[in-house]
Amino acid sequence: MNTILYHSILFISMIWPLLLAFLFIFKQFHSKLLYFTPWAALPALLAVAISSTYATEFELPSLLVGGSFALDETGKIFMLLATLLWTLSGVYAKSYFKSIENKVSFYRYFLLAMAGNFILILAQDMISFYVGFTLMSFASYGLIVFNKTALSFKAGLVYISLVVLGEVILFSGLLMIASTSESTLFSAVPENIILDSSHDLIICLIFIGFGLKAGVFGLHVWLPLAHPEAPAPASAVLSGTMIKAGILGWIRFLPVGTIALPEWGTAIIILGFFTAFYGVIIGLTQRDPKTVLAYSSISQVGIITMSIGLGMQFPEVWSVVLTGIAFYALHHGLSKGALFLGVGLFGSKQLKQRVWVWLGLWLPALAIAGAPWTSGMLAKDLVKSYTLYVPAPWDTLLPLLLSGSALATALLMARLLYLLRPSAEPYGSKPSIGLILPWSALLLTIILVPWLGVYSFEYAMNKEIFGSLWPILLSLMISIGVYRMHIFNKVKPIPAGDILVWIELGLILLKNNIKKLHNLTQYLTLLQEDIQRIFNAVQTLFSVKLRQSESFLVRWEVAITLMVLMMSVVVFISFKR
């Protein structure tokens, strides 16, 4: 296979989902397109499979102002995650929507979001990345509101509002970067940012713009609202791969690994760890399994955010940190995708079927918790390896904070499994072979990933597993105690979106205050008019009296009398002297 053919495969991987989405306009093609749609990601998966031999860059000069695309080492990991999740979620969706009439609408948005995801992963320049990112972001709205319920429309409103805000912020940052250089390639972006006198503002805009998609604390409110309302296959890709687009944006645009930015690094590290623990604390109070998974995603994004902060503070360790981020994203995306697809299988009325699904969910849940010999253990090992390269005090603080985060994550996974326990009511769709097969394939992928050139038998046998095992055992003991004490029955769940509730309350108070201020303004206006009328009346009365007095004084007999009086006063004063 030559390079030209490989470039053609890369191009097809981006354009094929767009073409299928366009063809859905024609009703006569619907029945045939429904067979092709689940496999729309296969060209991209093929590109990943053969990328080691043909990892070269190609350009599309006729695309807008030109576009540069390639599948670099970082892109391979993100593309592998994306292609696996989009393919298996697409196959899952085929059976999930089998009896639903408006499934064509879902597939349109599904394909558009997929195309945007592939474009941004392959992009090697700012404009192409932004186009893919924007396409994916807006298409995802259709996935969130697909069920057309009041809650889904609320989630969609919050999501699209933040998307528009994020796009404006991100575009402003990109314009500032582009204004300092003629090149829009990623290779020139870090230097362009550092050389700009407003580099702190640019970093802030880029971090917030992509942070809204990643779901870091303060920018996360759409996640716990959107995940429960989106259909299971949409939730799998939303959490598994779409929020990773924000992380990839940080990697591509932020000046990580170039120059030490200690203030930014420290701030982002602290924000990352706060996000990790905050997601767990709020998630533990939830009673909807998909909401728990949403807060779990927020927590896991916190660990990756912390890693970005380390790369900004210690550029010399960026290569190690980047490896950890990429594998952590792969591990989390696959495991979280399996959890969302699995949660969608609890609709059977037969307890035995729900028991088997529940047991299957233990695998991705244990992987998220970092259990021994899972992808989670390897991902957490890579993150813990940062401590070998960073100076004090981080070499001491990181292990402590990461251990606490591991325990917190294990507790949250225990909470999830408790909510989905087989004795509970049916939840989701009734299992069918078309749903179980893609889910099982994803579970198999989770098992195999650590062993594909990463783990070895010797490594697994010689690995000291207690560091990965104690959070699981301790969380199990704590969970049993909490269950017996019925603590969660006494805890009122925090509304999904948490700080959004305070924002909404603030907006309501502001609206009421504005209304009161408007009423006060009207009252003051009326009072001013009344005062003006009184003043005018007094002025009119005074003018009348003044004219009457003036008329009286100018009469000749009055004038002579006054003159005589004045002369008498003068004579009297002179006589006294």
- 223-225-230-233 Cα dihedral, nearest 10 degrees: 30
How much is the pTM?
0.84
What separation in angstroms does the CA of 280 have from each of 82, 216, 397, 404? 25, 13, 20, 11
Residues 152 and 261 in one domain: yes
Q: Using DSSP bridges, classify how beta strands 345-346 and 427-428 pair: parallel, antiparallel or unpaired.
A: antiparallel
> How many domains does the chain contain in total?
2
- CB atoms < 10 A from the CB of 202, how many? 25
- Judged on CB neighbours under 10 Å (0-12, 13-18, 19+), 35 is exposed
Residues 81/241, Cβ–Cβ less than 8 Å? yes
Helix axes 150-178, 126-144, angle to 10 degrees: 170
> What are the beta bridge partners of residue 500?
none
Residues 53 and 121 in one domain: yes
Q: Which residues, other chains included, contact 560 with Cβ-Cβ below 8 Å and sequence gap of 6+?
A: none
Residues 454 and 332 in one domain: yes
The DSSP secondary structure of 88-137, one letter per residue, reads HHHHHHHHHTTT-TTHHHHHHHHHHHHHHHHHHHHB-BHHHHHHHHHHHH
pLDDT of residue 518: 66
* CA nearest to 432, candidates 339, 359, 353: 353
pLDDT of residue 100: 77
Cα(442)–Cα(374) distance, integer angstroms = 14
pLDDT of residue 82: 95
End position of a domain, from candidates 447, 468, 497: 497
Residue 12 structure tokens? 């097809």
Residue 260 structure tokens? 């030490």
| Size (the chain), residues | 577
pLDDT of residue 421: 84
Cα(378)–Cα(356) distance, integer angstroms = 27
Residues 487 and 553 in one domain: no
pLDDT of residue 469: 82
Residues 483 and 516 in one domain: no
Residues 420 and 521 in one domain: no
Residues 222 and 190 in one domain: yes
Cα(318)–Cα(260) distance, integer angstroms = 11
Q: What is the pLDDT of residues 324-363, one digit of tens each?
A: 999 999 999 999 999 999 988 876 667 777 888 899 999 9
Residues 415/479, Cβ–Cβ less than 8 Å? yes
Residues 391 and 436 in one domain: yes
Residues 119 and 265 in one domain: yes
Element (H, E) at 174: helix 150-178
Residues 104 and 227 in one domain: yes
Alpha helices in 260-288 (DSSP H): 262-284
pLDDT by 10s per residue, the chain, length 577: 577 788 888 889 999 999 999 998 888 888 888 888 999 999 999 988 887 665 566 666 555 556 788 888 899 999 999 999 999 999 999 888 887 777 888 999 999 999 999 999 999 889 999 999 999 999 999 999 998 899 999 999 999 999 999 999 999 999 898 887 777 888 888 888 888 788 899 999 999 999 999 999 989 999 999 988 899 999 999 998 999 999 999 999 999 988 889 999 999 999 999 999 999 999 999 988 999 999 999 999 999 999 999 999 999 999 999 999 999 999 999 999 999 999 888 766 677 778 888 999 999 999 999 888 888 888 888 888 888 888 888 888 888 999 999 999 999 999 999 988 876 666 555 677 888 999 999 999 998 877 775 555 566 666 667 777 888 888 888 888 888 777 777 777 788 877 877 776 777 777 776 766 666 677 677 767 767 777 676 666 666 555 655 555 455 555 566 565 666 655 555 555 5
pLDDT of residue 461: 60
Strands (E), 388-477: 427-428
Cα(442)–Cα(448) distance, integer angstroms = 10
Q: Give me the percent of the chain exceeding a pLDDT of 70.
A: 82
Residues 461 and 519 in one domain: no
Residues 216 and 354 in one domain: yes
* 3-state per-residue secondary structure call for 346-391: ECCCCHHHHHHHHHHHHHHHHHHHCCCCCHHHHHHHHHHHHHHCCC
Residues 297/334, Cβ–Cβ less than 8 Å? no
378: domain range? 3-497
Longest dimension (CA), the chain: 135
End position of a domain, from candidates 497, 514, 548: 497
Q: What is the pLDDT of residues 363-387, one digit of tens each?
A: 999 999 988 888 888 888 888 888 8
End position of a domain, from candidates 480, 497, 514: 497
Q: Which residue's entry shows tokens 């805000």?
A: 165
Residue 58 in 3-state DSSP?
Answer: strand
> What are the beta bridge partners of residue 1?
none
pLDDT of residue 52: 67
Residue 136 structure tokens? 């994916």
Alpha helices in 196-253 (DSSP H): 199-214, 223-229, 232-237, 243-253
